Amino acid sequence: MIDINLLLALGGVYKNVAAGEMIFMEGSRCNFYYQLVKGKVNWININEDGKEYLQSVIEPGECFGELPLFDGEPYAATAVAQEDSLLIKLHQATFHQMLVDHPDIHGQFSKLLAQRLRFKFFMLRELLNSHPEDRISSLIRYLQETNHNICTSCGKIKLTRQQIANMTCLRVETVIRAMRQMHDRGEIRILKGKVYCGNMTPVIPAKCAG
């Protein structure tokens, strides 16, 4: 999202986080801008019963938890490292000054916030759909259209079945069963346990960076 050299020049610092480590908690105060350099981060909400709703899986190059930087409110979700990850963080006051000094970056953030808000409207609409296969199919189509959490080379979906369940508010058993049926109809392809878009030819995973 933002050039790492610029972040470092402005006083940004690297931070290593271990798999399962919480980076910030829903409801806590925001003090930094976070950008993922390496690894993966889950952006989640957890209800009173401990059930998780997965907002997004953050990939390298993406920022997360940026909303409080603009409205001054607490974090709206919790960020947890899915795997050992490397972040770069910048103090919020410096972040605000950077937006003043670099209006092009400010414009990029306006577009990003609009895209993420559009995704929320999309998911809310799909959650009204009672057919699990339609929810999953719509999510996969959206990921493919936005090149997010999907390999553009081989079409491999970079989400686990549990993550897809958490994003679509389905039971993981329902997702597994629905995906088998989608595979049988050719809507997706399952190869060695990995799930691929049905309109792309799977390749041997070892030969693809995705």
Give the sign of the dihedral formed by CA 21, CA 26, CA 32, CA 33: positive
User: Does pTM top 0.95 for this prediction?
Assistant: no
As a residue count, the chain comes to: 210
pLDDT for res 209: 54
Residue 38 and residue 22: Cα distance in Å, rounded? 16
Model pLDDT for residues 51-88, shown as the tens digit of each residue: 889 989 999 999 999 999 999 999 999 999 999 999 99
Which helix or strand (DSSP H or E) is residue 13 part of? strand 13-17
Domains along the sequence of the chain with CATH? 4-121 (2.60.120.10), 129-207 (1.10.10.10)
pLDDT at 89 over 80: yes
pLDDT for res 47: 82
Model pLDDT for residues 116-159, shown as the tens digit of each residue: 888 888 888 877 777 899 999 989 988 888 888 998 888 899 99
**Lowest-pLDDT range, 30-39, 104-113, 194-203?**
194-203
Name the band, by pLDDT with cuts 50, 70 and 90, for residue 207. low
pLDDT at 201 over 60: no
Residue 33: closest CA among 64, 59, 75, 71 = 64
The dihedral over CA atoms of 159, 165, 169, 173, expressed in degrees to the nearest 10, equals 170
What average pLDDT does the segment 42-50 reach?
87
What average pLDDT does the segment 3-9 reach?
96
pLDDT for res 124: 81
- Whether 142 contacts 122, CB under 8 Å: yes
pLDDT at 206 over 70: no
